[in-house]
Amino acid sequence: MTKETTDNTFASEVLNAKIPVLVDFWAPWCGPCRQLSPIIDEIAKELTGKIEVYKCNVDDNPETPSKFGVRGIPSLMIFKDGKLVDSKVGALPRASLNEWIAKNL
C-alpha cells in the first residue's frame, strides 16, 4: 500500500493526487525511520481510499525534501489539493500518529 515517490514523480503523485497524501521522508541509515516504517505501512493499509501514503528516500531524492524544508528525519507531511497542510518530525507513537492524521483528513 505504501509507494515510493522521487524528485521526478513527486508533483504528479503527491501534488496532483485526488485524495490527501501522507509522505514519509526517510533514509535507510535512520534508526527512528526504520522503527516508524511498519507503522506507516499499517496506516497505509488501514486508510486505503482515504489517504495515499508515499515514502521518499532523502538520500536518493535531495530536491523534494529541500523544497519542503525537511531538516530532520523521519519527517511526515500531509498534502491536500497540492498544498502542504501539516508536518511532524520524529518517530511518533502510533496513537499520536493516528490522531494527527485524522485531524488533517
Could you say which of 21, 22, 30, 47 is catalytic? 30
HEC-encoded secondary structure of the chain: CCEECCCCCHHHHHHCCCCCEEEEEECCCCHHHHHHHHHHHHHHHHCCCCCEEEEEECCCCCHHHHHCCCCCCCEEEEEECCEEEEEEECCCCHHHHHHHHHHHC
Question: Looking at 33, 36, 43, 76, which residue is catalytic?
Answer: 33
Is 33 among the residues known to form the active site?
yes
Instruction: Please give the grid coordinates belonging to residue 69.
Output: 524544508
Per the structure block, which three cell numbers stand in for 104? Answer: 488533517
Active-site residue list: 30, 33
